[in-house]
């Protein structure tokens, strides 16, 4: 039996009425995949990886407005791919940037301050609606949220030639979506680019914001290396 909790109800109502955006970052070249076209276009069970990812966000409730960041020189290729696969869900297209940071920054220009925004790697196609929806909900409450999983292995740090075991319960492996109040993220992205930025949370953290962790999933892995396509296909069965 579920009980009525007014605080949760109000939070959920506020999260559901706030305008939602999803930035799908697909501006990379996929150098580690070493494929003929960037990995976001490779076929996964007969459909390009990027289409699976966009469909996952389109299927979540309430549907976010999708902004896709894609290298300028692949816009025509992508539009042809959409025609070939009869892929017709609504989205806005922007140019990818030199780094992931610059791709996100381009897309943020289309987002109003009073929205919620999720940033998601195009190459994490196994994301579930439940995780997407929970991330938006948590962002309403905490402002800056990353989904992450705990390490399944023991953790050891190598520093100055010596190794030391770390408490694995204190270590999280960060995934996407990374979801924010848009005003917070847009402000963070006004700060200058640093090479140490690997994700949106590191940009927000550098700007002084606390980052909340929400439960991710081991299936929500990033397609990075050649063997990852076969693994993703197995997990989708
Ligand atoms: N200039 C860039 C670089 C990366 N990304 C996106 O950020 C996500 C995570 O990056 P990663 O897996 O590193 O993708 P690539 O940069 O494409 O791969 P690699 O590092 O192997 O070249 C991907 O969806 C990628 O398309 C982006 O939007 N713009
Ligand atoms: C954003 C990210 O996917 C979170 O795990 C990750 O930081 C991207 O890193 P990469 O160096 O681009 O693979």
How many A from CA of 71 to the centre of ligand 1? Answer: 11
- Which residue's C-alpha comes closest to atom 16 of ligand 1? 28
Nearest to 178 by CA among 236, 124, 232, 218: 124
Domains present along the chain, CATH in parentheses: 6-236 (3.90.550.10)
Contact present, 182 and 111 (Cβ < 8 Å) = yes
Report the chain's mean pLDDT, rounded to a whole number. 95
CA 139 to CA 7: how far, in whole Å?
15
CB of 123 sitting under 6 A from ligand 1: yes
CA distances from 24 to 3, 30, 50, 66, 179 (A): 36, 15, 9, 7, 12
Residues facing 118 on adjacent strands: 22, 179
Residue 105 has pLDDT above 90, yes or no: yes
**Which sign does the torsion angle of CA 34, 39, 44, 48 carry?**
negative
The ipTM estimated for the assembled molecules is 0.98
Ligand 2 atom nearest 222 alpha carbon: 3
Those residues with Cβ within 8 angstroms of residue 225's Cβ, 6 or more apart along the chain or in another chain: 32, 33
CB 21 within 8 A of CB 117: yes
- Protein residue with its CA nearest to atom 1 in ligand 2: 199
- For the entire predicted model, the pTM comes to 0.95
**Is the Cβ atom of 103 under 6 angstroms away from ligand 1?**
yes
Q: Report the distance separating Cα 168 and Cα 158, nearest Å.
A: 15
Residues 89-93: what's their mean pLDDT?
A: 98
Check if 71 has its Cβ closer than 6 Å to any atom of ligand 1.
no
β-partners of residue 180 are 117, 144
Percent of the chain with pLDDT over 90: 92
**pLDDT class for 12, splitting at 50, 70, 90?**
confident
Structure tokens at 70: 């894609």
Dump pLDDT digits (tens) for 183-227: 999 999 999 999 999 999 999 999 999 999 999 999 999 999 999
Do β-strands 47-48 and 43-44 pair in parallel, antiparallel, or remain unpaired?
antiparallel
């Amino acid at each position: 039996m579920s009980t009525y909790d007014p605080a949760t109800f109000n939070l959920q109502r506020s999260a559901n009425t706030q305008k939602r955006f999803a930035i799908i970052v697909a501006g990379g070249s996929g150098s580690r995949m070493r494929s003929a076209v960037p990995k976001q276009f490779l076929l996964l069970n007969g459909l390009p990886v990027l289409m699976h990812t966009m469909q996952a966000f389109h299927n979540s409730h309430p549907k976010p407005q999708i902004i896709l960041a894609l290298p300028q020189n692949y816009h025509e290729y992508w539009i042809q791919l959409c025609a070939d696969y009869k892929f017709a869900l609504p989205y806005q297209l922007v140019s990818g940037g030199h780094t992931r940071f610059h791709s996100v920054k381009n897309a943020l220009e289309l987002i109003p301050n009073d929205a919620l925004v999720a940033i998601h790697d195009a190459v994490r196609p196994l994301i579930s609606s439940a995780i997407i929806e929970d991330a938006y909900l948590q962002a309403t409450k905490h402002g800056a949220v990353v989904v992450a999983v705990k390490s399944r292995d023991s953790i050891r740090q190598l520093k100055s030639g010596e190794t030391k075991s770390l408490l694995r319960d204190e270590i999280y492996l960060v995934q996407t979506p990374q979801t924010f109040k848009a005003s917070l993220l847009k402000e963070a992205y006004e700060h200058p680019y640093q090479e140490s930025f690997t994700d949106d949370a590191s940009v927000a953290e550098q700007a002084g914001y606390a980052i909340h962790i929400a439960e991710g999933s081991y299936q929500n892995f990033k397609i990075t290396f050649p063997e990852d396509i076969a693994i993703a296909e197995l997990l989708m069965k």
